[in-house]
Amino acid sequence: MATILHIETATKNCSVSVANKGELLAIQELNDGNYSHAEKLHPFIQQVMEEVKLSFNDIDAVAVSKGPGSYTGLRIGVSAAKGLCFAFDKPLISIETLQSLAHKVSIEEGVIIPMLDARRMEVYAAVYNSKHEQVRDIKAEIIDENSFEEYLSKGKVYFLGDGSEKCKEVIGHKNAVFIDGEFPSAKEMVQLSFDKYKKNDIEDVAYFEPFYLKDFVVTPEKRR
């Protein structure tokens, strides 16, 4: 058996799923434009477990989206995952958020660039080939008209994620393809987590931290 609970909270999509041996059994998710993870995550976890008629003792691992993404969203998701692992003595599996987002697209040629909004004209992005193999590291980068020119000059480039919306305004290359409305989901984590489970590629629950990419900075409130 390899029954895994998946938690995805890196963006505004609050998503939870249960799968067995890489096959999706149940999923609950909500993307209403707000960060509702604090209210929705634990009820969603309970709902998918009830739907498949399993207790937490029945699962074999917990997988969590590791980032990059929303600082608060990642903290909520990772805290919930670690809490379950501690309470029920289960291994923790981490999945890169952009990797699972890239798996929403299937292409025969070209590259996939999943990207998450990092405010203003900045995004978190990585580059994957048609086999979903990462060919460029994850970066926080400011988008301009020359962004990703080295890939656009060679063939089709498929942009997706909430960060791709701002790219439409400045990237006008003929090879740029923008896929709207896609967010990271616990659905695409299913096969990735199963592959890691088979290799015993797990995290140290006590020391695991989300991949923020950038330091979280609190801006002091201005005195009136």
Is a pLDDT exceeding 60 seen at residue 215?
no
The predicted-structure confidence for 59-70, as pLDDT tens digits, reads as follows: 999 999 999 999
Confidence of residue 119 (pLDDT cuts 50, 70, 90): confident
The predicted-structure confidence for 5-30, as pLDDT tens digits, reads as follows: 999 999 999 999 999 999 999 999 99
Confidence of residue 120 (pLDDT cuts 50, 70, 90): confident
Overall pTM > 0.75:
yes
161 contacts 146 by C-beta, under 8 angstroms: no
Domains of the chain and any CATH numbers: 3-96+184-199 (3.30.420.40), 105-179 (3.30.420.40)
